[in-house]
């Protein structure tokens, strides 16, 4: 490690860009949380309430974001979609972790033939393009929110398991882990007290970035009409419903698309910000 | 060298078998009896003996594994049966739609590679401010869903500027907007990979030595860093191509591009299992071949691996 001291660190101008991104991402996440909770405080029309007189109405004091093709209030639908869109992404991410964490940890620690078989199995699933596999699973289950969650989880877990395995493998080769093992610590204790704490920070980066891509995939599936089914409000599904009224009512397109973008951006910013905080390398300058 | 390629191809057989098994198992385990569904679709109230006869005709009375081998034997001859929805052979449906999807995915990949190299070069060459700006731009582009980007591009270029039309006939000019939609997001993602790899290489000692020797930055970039990042980039390109094959479905549905996306969405709506199965197999095969090519590039780009290969 002695050569590290020779490196010339780049000038840090105040707080790094990564930290700004991290804070911005956290603020966005908090904003979505507040938006999701806002029906408790605000007096909004119910998201399913139709008012055919207000069909395709542009933004007005009565409908701040306008109304859709059935005269439903876009703002209240947008807010009602927060728990659906974000909830689906979080459920999917949990499902992915429930499979990939044990898979990666066991493969890394067992080593040898067990490791090889487990990784080959993961490779087979990974050999399909992720969205293609998700589409196939949905095709056989029939289009629904549950099917799209299962499809995305089934397609996304192997790459996650691979990353977990790589992290655990490098963590378990540290000297103090060997020392703990030689000191007679049980296998469980080594994993929980010595390996997992090392793995958690990089894992947080991965989880945040993966949640962003899962959110994108799920809303894309809803947009294609094979995820969340109408009349349930969901951002992708709202965009899909807005497609025929593209030229007449552009306001129907703006809000849901912006909502997906900002939500994905929040997770990407947090992931990237965390990665930058953890990254200790400094490039040489010329 | 030839021996290496043969070994590499032989090593591809187990995963291919595994993939075919996955594709078969998803259908075999899918809820609903295909015979009953087809009879119901034809409006026939079936007698039990009719069902048994039909099941025997399609080989559905056999156990799981023999059915898999029957299916595999037909699949290697590209015989995936007939589409339930159209009654035509699945293979002819795929043959009609596959070229359009491949054209879209390949042109999007080319666009993404060009965009990523430009973004990466700007980020590396620029100062701190441009670097931060480019990083912000790439994060934003990666976060914009392709379906929304497509709608925005249509709004600007078709409705407002009138530069191109929306309902095309599958000719080359109609490819520009869909390919651009796909390549913006993918290019931003790849640009980050380029930037990350260059940054990682710049932290290496051999680059420090080159700087100390007084080589000019462009030369260090081209002779010290570029060869080292080619392998990882090839892998990233292959992965991006897989993502583009899947992402093509979304863009095709918006732009009305006559590719496999239209076919698969129709098949999902009509529960046309043979078509879905063939789609899964073909996309898997194409992605698999792409990854194989990337693996070979990784080896050819690494002098140490190449030398070891020569000695074998």
Q: Which domains occur in chain A, in start order?
A: 85-285 (1.10.3720.10)
Amino acid A5: pLDDT: 39
Residues of B in contact with A281 (CB under 8 A): 199-200, 203
Question: Nearest-5° angle of CA A235, CA A237, CA A240?
Answer: 115
Amino acid A48: pLDDT: 74
Q: Which of A220, A226, A268 sits opposite B143 (nearest CB)?
A: A268
Amino acid B241: pLDDT: 93
Q: How far is residue A22's CA from residue A28's CA, in Å, rounded to a whole number?
A: 10
Cα four-point dihedral sign A139, A141, A145, A150: negative
Q: How far is residue A41's CA from residue A33's CA, in Å, rounded to a whole number?
A: 13
Give the closest residue to A285 by CA, choosing from A2, A3, A6, A7.
Answer: A7
Q: How far is residue B96's CA from residue B98's CA, in Å, rounded to a whole number?
A: 6
Q: How far is residue B151's CA from residue B156's CA, in Å, rounded to a whole number?
A: 9
Secondary structure string (H, E, C) spanning chain A: CHHHHHCCCCCCCCCCHHHHHHHHHHHHHHHHHHHHHHHHCCCCCCCCCCCHHHCCCCCCCCCCCCECCCCCEHHHHHHHHHHHHHHHHHHHHHHHHHHHHHHHHHHHHHCHHHHHHHHHHHHHHHCCCHHHHHHHHHHHHCCCHHHHHHHHHHHHHHHHHHHHHHHHHHHHCCHHHHHHHHCCCCHHHHHHHHHHHHHHHHHHHHHHHHHHHHHHHHHHHHHCCCCCCCCCCCHHHHHHHHHHHCCCCCHHHHHHHHHHHHHHHHHHHHHHHHHHHHCCCCCCCC
Q: Which of B128, B203, B268 sits opposite A281 (nearest CB)?
A: B203
Mutate which of A10, A136, A270 to disrupt the B interface (most B C-beta within 10 Å)? A136
Determine the average pLDDT of the residues in B63-86: 81
Q: How far is residue B41's CA from residue B31's CA, in Å, rounded to a whole number?
A: 16
Mutate which of A9, A22, A119, A132 to disrupt the B interface (most B C-beta within 10 Å)? A132
Amino acid B203: pLDDT: 83
On whether any CB of chain A is under 8 Å from the CB of B99, the answer is no
Return the residue matching tokens 């289950």: A141
Amino acid A4: pLDDT: 40
Judge whether B142 and B189 are in contact, CB under 8 Å.
yes
CA distance B199 to chain A (A): 6
Amino acid B272: pLDDT: 80
Cross-chain Cβ contact B18/A128 below 8 Å: no
In chain A, the residue whose alpha carbon lies closest to the alpha carbon of B131 is A17
| Chains A & B: contacts with CB separation below 8 Å | 166
Q: What are the pLDDT digits (tens) for B244-291?
A: 998 899 998 888 888 898 889 988 888 788 888 889 999 999 998 998
CA distance B148 to chain A (A): 6
Residues of B in contact with A272 (CB under 8 A): 135, 139
Q: Directed axis angle between helix B273-301 and helix B260-270, to 10°?
A: 140
ipTM score assigned to the predicted complex: 0.84
Q: Directed axis angle between helix B273-301 and helix B303-311, to 10°?
A: 90
DSSP state of B168: -
Q: What are the pLDDT digits (tens) for B32-41?
A: 666 666 666 6
Interface of B with A in 225-254 (CB under 8 A): 242-243, 245-247, 249-250, 253-254
Residue A10 has pLDDT above 60, yes or no: no
Cross-chain Cβ contact B249/A246 below 8 Å: no
Q: How many CA atoms within 13 Å lie on the side-chain side of A155? A: 28
Residue A175 has pLDDT above 60, yes or no: yes
Cross-chain Cβ contact B287/A128 below 8 Å: yes
On whether any CB of chain A is under 8 Å from the CB of B267, the answer is yes
In chain B, the residue whose alpha carbon lies closest to the alpha carbon of A12 is B128
At B166, give phi and psi (nearest 5°).
-95, -45
Q: How far is residue B213's CA from residue A281's CA, in Å, rounded to a whole number?
A: 22
Determine the average pLDDT of the residues in B39-59: 67
CA distance A180 to chain B (A): 32
Chain-centroid distance of CA A259 in Å reads 14
Q: How far is residue B31's CA from residue A130's CA, in Å, rounded to a whole number?
A: 22
Cross-chain Cβ contact B26/A243 below 8 Å: no
Minimum mean pLDDT range among A4-8, B112-116, B173-177: A4-8
Q: What are the pLDDT digits (tens) for B182-197?
A: 999 999 999 988 888 8
Q: Which of B128, B143, B277 sits opposite A13 (nearest CB)?
A: B128
Residue A281 has pLDDT above 70, yes or no: no
CA distance A189 to chain B (A): 34
**Averaged confidence pLDDT in chain A:** 84
Quote the percentage of chain A above a pLDDT of 70.
91
Mutate which of A15, A213, A284 to disrupt the B interface (most B C-beta within 10 Å)? A284
CA distance B104 to chain A (A): 16
On whether any CB of chain A is under 8 Å from the CB of B108, the answer is no
Number of neighbouring beta carbons within 10 Å of residue B289: 13
Structure tokens given for B69: 């081998």
Burial class of residue A235, CB neighbours in 10 A (0-12, 13-18, 19+): buried
On whether any CB of chain A is under 8 Å from the CB of B160, the answer is no
Residues of B in contact with A283 (CB under 8 A): 199, 202-203
Residue A136 has pLDDT above 70, yes or no: yes
Residues of B in contact with A138 (CB under 8 A): 268
CA distance A172 to chain B (A): 23
Q: Which of A137, A142, A223 sits opposite B271 (nearest CB)?
A: A142
pLDDT classification of A45: cutoffs 50, 70, 90: confident
Structure tokens given for A228: 């969340």
Amino acid A255: pLDDT: 87
Q: Is the peptide bond before A231 cis (omega within 30 degrees of 0)?
A: yes
Q: How far is residue B65's CA from residue B83's CA, in Å, rounded to a whole number?
A: 23
Give the closest residue to A227 by CA, choosing from A151, A127, A116.
Answer: A151
CA distance B158 to chain A (A): 11
On whether any CB of chain A is under 8 Å from the CB of B128, the answer is yes
In chain B, the residue whose alpha carbon lies closest to the alpha carbon of A286 is B211
Residues of B in contact with A259 (CB under 8 A): none
Query: Which pTM does this prediction carry?
Result: 0.85
Q: Which of B131, B135, B283 sits opposite A128 (nearest CB)?
A: B283
Cross-chain Cβ contact A127/B15 below 8 Å: yes
Q: Which of A13, A136, A246 sits opposite B280 (nearest CB)?
A: A136
Cross-chain Cβ contact B31/A141 below 8 Å: yes
Amino acid A264: pLDDT: 94
Q: How far is residue A128's CA from residue A105's CA, in Å, rounded to a whole number?
A: 23
Domains, in order of start, for chain B: 97-263+299-311 (1.10.3720.10)
Q: Which of A130, A143, A243 sits opposite B268 (nearest CB)?
A: A143
Cross-chain Cβ contact A261/B144 below 8 Å: yes
Q: Which of B147, B155, B242 sits opposite A129 (nearest CB)?
A: B242
């Amino acid at each position: 490690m002695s050569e590290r001291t020779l490196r010339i660190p780049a000038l840090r101008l105040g707080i790094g860009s990564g930290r700004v991104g991290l804070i911005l991402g956290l603020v966005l996440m908090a904003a979505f949380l507040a938006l999701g909770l806002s029906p408790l405080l605000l007096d909004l029309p119910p998201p399913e309430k139709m008012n055919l007189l207000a069909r395709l109405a542009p933004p007005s004091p009565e409908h701040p974001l306008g109304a859709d093709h059935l005269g439903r209030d876009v703002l209240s639908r947008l807010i009602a979609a927060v728990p659906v869109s974000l909830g689906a992404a979080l459920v999917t991410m949990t499902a992915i972790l429930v499979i990939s964490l044990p898979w990666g940890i066991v493969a890394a620690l067992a080593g040898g033939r067990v490791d090889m078989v487990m990784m080959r199995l993961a490779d087979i699933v990974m050999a399909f393009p992720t969205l293609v596999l998700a589409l196939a699973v949905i095709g056989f289950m029939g289009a629904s929110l549950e099917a799209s969650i299962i499809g995305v989880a089934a397609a996304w877990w192997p790459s996650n398991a691979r990353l977990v395995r790589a992290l655990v493998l490098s963590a378990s080769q540290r000297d103090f882990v060997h020392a703990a093992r030689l000191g007679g610590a049980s296998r469980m204790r080594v994993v929980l007290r010595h390996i997992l704490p090392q793995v958690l920070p990089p894992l947080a980066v991965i989880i945040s970035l993966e949640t962003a891509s899962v959110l994108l995939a799920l809303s894309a599936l809803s947009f294609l009409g094979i995820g969340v089914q109408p009349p349930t409000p969901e951002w992708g599904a709202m965009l899909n419903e807005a497609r025929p009224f593209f030229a007449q009512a552009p306001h129907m397109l703006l809000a849901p698309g912006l909502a997906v973008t900002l939500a994905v951006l929040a997770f990407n910013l947090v992931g990237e910000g965390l990665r930058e905080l953890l990254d200790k390398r400094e490039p040489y300058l010329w | 060298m030839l021996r290496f390629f043969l070994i590499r191809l032989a090593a591809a057989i187990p995963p291919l078998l595994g993939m075919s098994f996955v594709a078969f198992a998803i259908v075999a385990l899918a809820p609903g009896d295909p015979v009953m569904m087809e009879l119901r679709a034809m409006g026939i109230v079936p007698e039990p003996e009719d069902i048994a006869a039909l099941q025997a005709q399609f080989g559905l009375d056999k156990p799981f594994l023999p059915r898999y081998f029957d299916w595999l034997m037909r699949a290697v001859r590209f015989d995936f049966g007939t589409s339930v929805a159209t009654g035509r052979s699945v293979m002819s449906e795929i043959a009609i739609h596959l070229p359009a999807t491949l054209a879209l995915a390949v042109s999007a990949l080319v666009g993404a590679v060009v965009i990523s190299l430009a973004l990466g070069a700007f980020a590396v060459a620029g100062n701190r401010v441009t670097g931060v700006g480019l990083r912000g731009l790439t994060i934003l582009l990666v976060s914009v869903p392709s379906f929304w980007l497509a709608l925005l591009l249509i709004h600007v270029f078709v409705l407002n500027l009138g530069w191109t039309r929306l309902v095309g006939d599958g000719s080359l000019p109609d490819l520009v907007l869909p390919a651009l939609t796909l390549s913006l997001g993918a290019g931003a993602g790849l640009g980050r990979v380029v930037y990350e790899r260059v940054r990682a290489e710049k932290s290496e000692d051999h680059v420090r030595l080159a700087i100390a020797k007084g080589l000019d930055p462009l030369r260090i970039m081209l002779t010290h860093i570029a060869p080292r990042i080619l392998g990882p980039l090839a892998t990233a390109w292959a992965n991006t191509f897989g993502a583009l094959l899947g992402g093509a479905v979304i863009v095709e549905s918006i732009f009305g591009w006559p590719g496999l996306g239209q076919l698969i969405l129709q098949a999902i709506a009509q529960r046309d299992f043979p078509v879905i199965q063939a789609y899964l197999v073909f996309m898997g095969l194409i992605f698999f071949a792409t990854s194989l090519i990337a693996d070979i590039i990784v080896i050819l780009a690494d002098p140490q691996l190449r030398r070891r290969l020569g000695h074998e």
